[in-house]
Structure 1
Amino acid sequence: METMEEWIQEQIDEGYMRAGDLEPIKCQWCESSDLEDRNHGYENLGIVSKEKWCNACEKRVNTWSYGSWDL
């Protein structure tokens, strides 16, 4: 069984996540890099949540909230 750190590095190496902030850059279902931010949540000073969707297969790739992506 791999550790979380190993899994994250594998995702980065395979081009699914950007190193540093771990933002999704490729869909894990269809391999497309045509991703879009949708469903923004706002509070007093700006965005506090958003979802990353794949435009090719219309699946939700990940969710960001309060400064980090779900892993």
Structure 2
Amino acid sequence: MAAIGERLRVLGLVTAGVVVLPAEDPDAVRTAWRRLPPDTGLVVVTPAAAEALGPELLEQGDPLTAVMPP
């Protein structure tokens, strides 16, 4: 499991064993997505990260994605 998004929104997930990839702008979000470990099954993204990635990536199904509530 991994999380991508603004540092303050995703940092707390590290305590649950989530691979946290802080990304503060759209380019950093896309870079973090490309750097996901190959065995990642679920990615939690912030709403801003979801917007940066676009629906094509989020709906592809592999890895499964979930968008945090605003």
Query: Shorter-normalised TM-score: what interval?
Result: under 0.3
Between Structure 1 and Structure 2, which shows a larger proportion of helix residues? Answer: 2
Select the structure with the greater relative contact order (CA < 8 A; seq sep ≥ 6): 2
Computing the radius of gyration from Cα coordinates, the structure with the larger value is 1
Between Structure 1 and Structure 2, which shows a larger proportion of strand residues? Answer: 1
